[in-house]
Amino acid sequence: MLKFEISKQAQQNSSARTGEIHTDHGRIQTPVFMPVGTLGSVKSVSVEDLDHCNAQIILGNTYHLYLRPGCEVIGHLDGLHEFIRWNKPMLTDSGGFQFFSLAKLAKFTDEGVAFQSHIDGSRHMFSPERAVEIQMILGSDIMMSLDWCVGYPATEKQALQALEKTTLWAKRGFDFWQEKGAKNNLFGIVQGGMHKHLRTLSARQLTSIDFPGFAIGGLSVGEPKELMYEMAEHTLPLLPEDKPRYIMGVGTPQDLVELVGMGCDMFDCVMPSRNARNGQLFTSRGTLNISNAKFRLDKDPVDTDCKCYTCCNYSRAYLRHLYKSRELLAYRLNTIHNLYYYLDLMAQMRTAINQDRFAAFKHDFYLKQSEE
């Protein structure tokens, strides 16, 4: 079962902290970024590539894996770890965000979410109990409660309705999880839209349930960045200090630095892999578009400070050629670099916090980002 230990609390008026999450599939050093492998793979890279990038934990999605290849297949293959040959920790989302994204295909009730498959139109139902049951079959180390995510803008009435359903489902999912005695660890998800008093209410209700960890959902759904930071800064202190705090679906490198400073322990986002496939590469000196003509004769690696496989072996000129030629190798090499950059950024922050120099790290991070 999950165990969380805080290793170091930052000084200098920062809430940043390092810690260690213990799971059946290994230990996770926090703060941590989780690459997103929606369908059981992080797009264009292998588990060996993820190992090279020093990924500690990856994320899969319950909604998508339930529809394809299905619980029967994954269960028959002894769970998601064995199916994809990943021997480190995994987290699975409950599908709540997908129901938000595919709102036209979903209907929310007290019982759960009735929805049509985006693949073939078939009809299905996720109750909070069913969401937990499916994740138990997947065998993830950390699974998420079914929640109702609202977009931006959302009225107070809409946000309250979603909050009430999220709390109801959290209690039912938790009771089912306890009844089944599952080895997976179930996290609760705080909702409340962009309304501070609703975030407070949601956090109070959910922390009354003894979840092993807590997440903040419903951020990065179209709101201005400063509002996202405001909601995170308000909500993080409302969550128990002795349990992991996870902000879902965030974000840019700057977001990670800011939110680690507010005390967040866990992150996930498709940005490093999705942007890599679109030719946008993250570096210690800002982002670059590899399709830009100025890189046509450039012998330098993507980032001279980076030690990833891509930067150690290939030039910007070659990566530009691959991308412009639509060679499949471009997606793999770009994704390796972006994932390595994100995961190395987290490692640098952990080191800085442990050495009581997070404030200096943050200053240097922004200074270098402005150089490109």
Give the residue numbers marked as catalytic.
93, 268
Position 317, amino acid: A
In sequence order, which ranges of the chain are alpha helices (DSSP H)?
Answer: 47-52, 62-67, 71-76, 80-84, 96-101, 128-138, 156-180, 196-207, 225-235, 253-261, 271-277, 309-313, 316-324, 328-354, 358-369
Phi, psi of 123 (to 5 degrees): -100, 140
Q: Which structure tokens are listed for 107?
A: 């209907």
- The amino acid at residue 64 is H
The strand pairing partners of 143, in sequence order, are 92, 186
Which DSSP string corresponds to 149-160? ---SS--HHHHH
Q: Which residues pair with 58 in a beta bridge?
A: 90
Q: Which residues contact 231 (CB under 8 A, 6 or more apart)?
A: 194, 196, 199, 216, 219, 223
Helix or strand holding residue 21 (H, E): strand 17-23
Contact 245, 216 (CB under 8 A): yes
User: What does the alpha-carbon distance between residue 339 and residue 337 come to, in Å, rounded to a whole number?
Assistant: 6
Residues 6+ apart with CB under 8 A from 362: 257, 261
Distance CA(3)–CA(167), nearest Å, equals: 24
DSSP 8-state secondary structure symbol assigned to residue 250: B
